Structure 1
Amino acid sequence: MAAAMKNAFTTWKFRHFFVFVTERGNNITVQCNLCLPIVKMLSASKNSTSNLKKHLQRRHSSCLHLIKEENRQSESTEHIGEGQGALHLPFKEEMLEVEQSTSQSTVSKLIFEFVIDDVQSFSLVEQPSFKNLIEGISGSQTVLSRKSLFQHMKKEFAAMKEALTAKLQTVTNVCTTADLWTVHGRSFFGMTCHWIEKDSFERRSVALACARVKGHHTFDVLAAKICEIHAEYQVQHKVRAIVTNNGSNFVKPFREFETPEEAALDEFDDGVTFFDMDAVLEMEGDEELHFFLPSHQRCAAHTLNLIATNEVHKAASRGSFQKVYQSAMGKCASIWNKAHWSSAAAEVVQDIANMRVSVPCVTRWSYEYLAIAKLIGLADDQLFDICGRLGVTGLNPHEIAFLREYVAVLQPLAQSIDVLQGEKKWFLGFLIPTILSLKFKLSDKLPHVTYTANIITAVIEALDSQFSAMLNSHDAKMATTTMPKFRLCWLPPEKREDMCKTVVQEATSLKSRSPAADVVISSETDGSDEEFFVFGKTNKAEKWTVEKEVRMFLYDTEKSLNSLHAYPLVKQLFLKYNTTIPSSAPVERLFSDGGSVLTSFHTRMSDDHMEQVLLLRYNRKFCPKLGFDDL
């Protein structure tokens, strides 16, 4: 709108609620800002703003008192055209008056969520510019102090833990994961908890702790931390298994303190733990620590990553193609380093191949595999052009052929790692089929390779060695068999009947411990004496009913988890054995979130505040909405 044009709208005090769009003849078109995100166009006369006033009165009642105030002060206004005037109140005061409907409690709540969810510095609430911003857009509401922020964070953290503990009391089986994280000279012990909703079969995951650990990370320190967190949330009798990586400091606690398998997997466990009192009395005065830990499971994804990192390298470094492997990997590393440390080199790769090259993480074989796959996926002329312009020795045809075979052969291994640590496959039942499928695919490639036969052989042998216990595990077999996706298809035909009998035995035992299923109350009787005399349960009919349900499930072709609703006993077995997850990836993701919290700019954050912020962000669904009226 031209600055020289004068009309009722240009001098109207409420013009800031609208945006001028166009002028046509004696009329103008404006857009209402208060209606956004809905785009509302309004037409008004140049010499009258009555249409715009009516819109404010009808659609935006908070402006009504301002309109009345303008009418009362019309005699002191500057008249233009037909006498429409403008208040001489500052625009800021009008806007604040309009927004008075935003309460102090709401403003404080929004600030708190902004600081927690976006990991803002706590000192933000003390910044003058931030205070001016909030006061300017909220109607002169004040910004909560840093002390109030800490008080409410502590209060909501306690409420979150209480709500989470209450939720876990309604769950029968849980699985936990644990790991250590060191950053900026501080170490933290993280633990996550997982269960399956019995109606929707959705996997639920929460963070239980990210607590500071001082001193040496010895096995007894970690064992004490595990027991402490389990007891704090009252899940010590519900943990089917705890999943950790293969680090010796995590493996040793379970070797030293884990209860016997038959006690850990006691099917008749009702929450009461029995101890040998003679052994307890003999322990009096003994300073040696004793912890009772749940069953331990090593992270399958981490185990596969170790196999890929160690066994593949060892196998490739031996044999007739050792020099090809070493030279090819060395040239790839030169390209990665050049492109990573030099912006000019990175632009060269971007121009030629339209991709970004980064240095793979040395502790994650999957990253190295993907980096090789990206490079070797380029056309030969692109690859030669990149090497030439970066000043790197180019890959010769034998090295390119080796790398392409390497990528093709180990693609199932990389895919297996993704499957086991992916969120959609967080069921123990996926572990055995994944390992068996991986072995089959590798074996199938063996007769057709030129360079990588020893690599394939080494990986298969490592799989047999590292996963033999899990492939023979009762829990893993039950978890796989009760998965509608697999049932008995993973077993050779001659072993399927034995597995079917095992499931029937488990289901029968499960039903016998469900009193409600055995009690039948009837109000009708024929008065016969025969109904009174009972000498024991008739197991034949009951066994046939259980066996029929199990066999119907095992021969069903429906692969959806919802099909389990038709088989109540099998459903209970599925929930029991598939609660355990095959990977400790969730706790690693917790630490990834922690990296956003405890950054180099937040190194002065206390240990307690660090844990509170991280867990409040991670467990948003279990954070009660507390008011700020008392702060």
Structure 2
Amino acid sequence: MITSFSNFSTSTTFSSVDDGADDAQLPLILNGKYFKILKAVSDTIYQKAGHGVEAACQICPTQKNIRGSVKRTSNFLSHLKEMHRPEYEEFLVEKDQKSKRARKYGLRQADFDEKVLKFVVDTSSPLSIVDHPSFIALFNDNGCSFVKAFKDFGVEVNYDADEKDGEDLESNEDIPQSVEVPDISLTKKYRCPSHNLNLLATTDYLNIIKSDAIANEKHQSVMRRCSAVWNKCNRLKSAESIKNLLGVTLKTPCPTRWNSHYDAFMHLLKCKNQLDDLCMLLEVAKLSSSELQYLEEYCELMEPLATGLHFLQSDKSMFFGYFIPILITIKVKWQRMDAMGNFQFLNERVRDMVNALVRRFQDFFEVSPKCQDAFVAAISCPAIKLKFSSALSETAPDWTDEKFKEMFLKHAEKFSDPTSSTSSARNDPQVFNYFDYGETEEESIEATPACIELSRYLNDGDETIECLNRYPAIKSTFFKFNTPILSSALVERLFGYAGLVNGKRSQNFSDGHFEKLVLLKANNIF
């Protein structure tokens, strides 16, 4: 028996059958419960290729030997199905449970062995590296090492219960004691805001219109009509005809791009006066007047969300602090649509979308402790400051301007210099006019440097990023909390540039040089 990769292997190559063979390494049907392997056979080419074995049925009253393969167990399955139906049903249940466990833990053993072998060869490492405690510790929690790393060393990790992989996240029993835990700190783990907003426009919206038979029927009908047009756009002859008629090529949805359906719908509506001619040219069904009406209402409903998604995916001047204002803007615009009631098909659905937005981003709208970093980031953005606070009065009535300031100061004071002189700030008329303590005794107010700096910052009419140079503590807070990006699209674009740089003649670049070239390409410097 040959076992590969020491502690990691669960696959066995049969040149002979040892008495001490591990049953867990065999197919389920040959593990001794249903069939017990007696010997290895290699009388035919098939048996040689498939590791042929002869096994005794453990259910037959008299010994019944079946020949088959370890890799292809159809002979054993056929015997079990025909002669022992109850045991066959039991086997299927057990096999299904085993498959679920395998899917839970992800990578198949053969694929894992191949990847480890590639790692050893590519890095010119000794085979003994697979027995090193640090290497073993990477895999002993079944793929949860990265999540656990954020849990142990990150600022804070928040994830849903259905994302936990068993109980391995809470257990350190399998980690060798000799592995020293480094003194490191990872950033907080955030879910992609753009992806969550896209789910609101797709999954949540489709679930909402299922309760409205008329809107659901119109939506499905419009999708069929538009899909027929888009399918024609992918054909060379039809694409040329479309361009000759409209003067431009039509935009088509892309499953990997957010907002692609909205953009494609809007492009069709721009050509609304020529849609009948277009459908006739492409020999597809025309959109009726009611379907066009629904499409216009749908695009108007999705406009705030689509604009927000486009904004979140901006390459420049996009900060984490803008996420809260975007959420509030979408909600406010939808509430105005709901109050106006100008829709024919989607009047009731507007209110449902508002509720879905608040439900999906409940932690943000209620200023949950685990989402307060987003509010600190927003306050530190000169263009935002505390403009959003009044819009949260419905979902977070306890959060006043003073409470937001108090929360912000807890973080800003870490960057404030306690030895700095505040006399100039105390004499600043803006600050003097800002403070109003009523009948409060002066001794109870502690005007710390950070508090005075925040007051000056909030009263400063300059909304450019450059104004942060005048407020060192606010600037440091801004850098810390506005680091997370709001869309994974920015990172995905870098992978595209990496593919352009990593050509056939660029295979010997060092990691550092390659990274610099990718960043230069992404920033249009060369």
Question: Normalising by the residue count of structure 2, what TM-score does the alignment of the two structures yield?
Answer: 0.57
Instruction: Call closer, same or farther: CA 1:436–1:294 in 2, change over 3 Å.
Output: same
Match of 1:469 in 2: 363
Give the conservation status (yes or no) of the 8 Å contact 1:428–1:580: yes
Q: Which has the higher strand share?
A: 1
The structural deviation recorded for 1:569 is: 2.0
Question: Helix, strand or coil: the match of 2:190?
Answer: strand
User: Which of these residues, 525, 532, 553, is aligned with residue 457 of structure 2?
Assistant: 553
Instruction: Call closer, same or farther: CA 1:403–1:462 in 2, change over 3 Å.
Output: same
Structure 1, residues 523-543: CA drift from partner, whole Å, max 9, x if none? xxxxxxxxxxxxxxxx98973
Structure 1, residues 9-43: CA drift from partner, whole Å, max 9, x if none? xxxxxxxxxxxxxxxxxxxxxxxxxxxxxxxxxxx
Match of 1:398 in 2: 290
CA distance in 2 between partners of 1:505 and 1:285 (Å): 37
Give the conservation status (yes or no) of the 8 Å contact 1:219–1:252: no
CA distance in 1 between partners of 2:520 and 2:251 (Å): 34
Q: CA RMSD in A?
A: 4.6
May I ask how many residue pairs the two structures share in their alignment? 353
Give the conservation status (yes or no) of the 8 Å contact 2:305–2:330: yes
Structure 1, residues 360-413: CA drift from partner, whole Å, max 9, x if none? 113434111101110112133x10000001100100100011111111111111
CA distance in 1 between partners of 2:287 and 2:521 (Å): 52
Match of 1:38 in 2: none
- Report whether the alignment pairs 1:323 with 2:221: no
Within 5 A, what are the aligned runs for 1:412-427?
412-427=304-319
Give the conservation status (yes or no) of the 8 Å contact 2:420–2:449: no
Identity within the alignment, %:
25
CA distance in 2 between partners of 1:350 and 1:585 (Å): 30
Match of 1:617 in 2: 517
CA distance in 2 between partners of 1:579 and 1:495 (Å): 26
Question: Helix, strand or coil: the match of 1:310?
Answer: helix
Instruction: Call closer, same or farther: CA 1:587–1:247 in 2, change over 3 Å.
Output: farther
Instruction: Call closer, same or farther: CA 1:323–1:430 in 2, change over 3 Å.
Output: same
Question: Normalising by the residue count of structure 1, what TM-score does the alignment of the two structures yield?
Answer: 0.48
Give the conservation status (yes or no) of the 8 Å contact 1:597–1:613: no
**Counterpart residue identity of residue 394, structure 1:** K
CA distance in 2 between partners of 1:403 and 1:469 (Å): 32
Give the conservation status (yes or no) of the 8 Å contact 1:312–1:459: yes
Instruction: Call closer, same or farther: CA 1:568–1:540 in 2, change over 3 Å.
Output: farther
User: Which of these residues, 292, 295, 313, is aligned with residue 206 of structure 2?
Assistant: 313
**Counterpart residue identity of residue 327, structure 1:** S
Match of 1:334 in 2: 228
> Which residues of structure 1 form unaligned runs of 5+?
1-184, 187-213, 228-235, 259-278, 519-538, 623-631
Instruction: Call closer, same or farther: CA 1:484–1:241 in 2, change over 3 Å.
Output: farther
CA distance in 1 between partners of 2:362 and 2:233 (Å): 42
The structural deviation recorded for 1:485 is: 0.4
**Counterpart residue identity of residue 384, structure 2:** F
User: Which of these residues, 250, 254, 259, is aligned with residue 361 of structure 1?
Assistant: 254
User: Which of these residues, 404, 407, 410, is aligned with residue 499 of structure 1?
Assistant: 404
Match of 2:5 in 1: none
Instruction: Call closer, same or farther: CA 1:375–1:595 in 2, change over 3 Å.
Output: farther
CA distance in 1 between partners of 2:406 and 2:143 (Å): 40
CA distance in 1 between partners of 2:450 and 2:149 (Å): 42
CA distance in 2 between partners of 1:455 and 1:305 (Å): 17
Match of 1:479 in 2: 377
**Counterpart residue identity of residue 372, structure 2:** H
CA distance in 2 between partners of 1:611 and 1:253 (Å): 33
CA distance in 1 between partners of 2:145 and 2:303 (Å): 39
Give the conservation status (yes or no) of the 8 Å contact 1:317–1:326: no
Give the conservation status (yes or no) of the 8 Å contact 2:222–2:287: yes
Instruction: Call closer, same or farther: CA 1:597–1:331 in 2, change over 3 Å.
Output: farther
Structure 1, residues 528-575: CA drift from partner, whole Å, max 9, x if none? xxxxxxxxxxx9897354322211211222111111222222222222
> Which residues of structure 2 form unaligned runs of 5+?
1-113, 116-137, 394-398, 422-442
Question: Helix, strand or coil: the match of 1:418?
Answer: helix
Give the conservation status (yes or no) of the 8 Å contact 1:428–1:479: yes
**Counterpart residue identity of residue 221, structure 2:** S
The structural deviation recorded for 1:427 is: 1.2
Give the conservation status (yes or no) of the 8 Å contact 1:311–1:458: no
Give the conservation status (yes or no) of the 8 Å contact 1:240–1:579: no
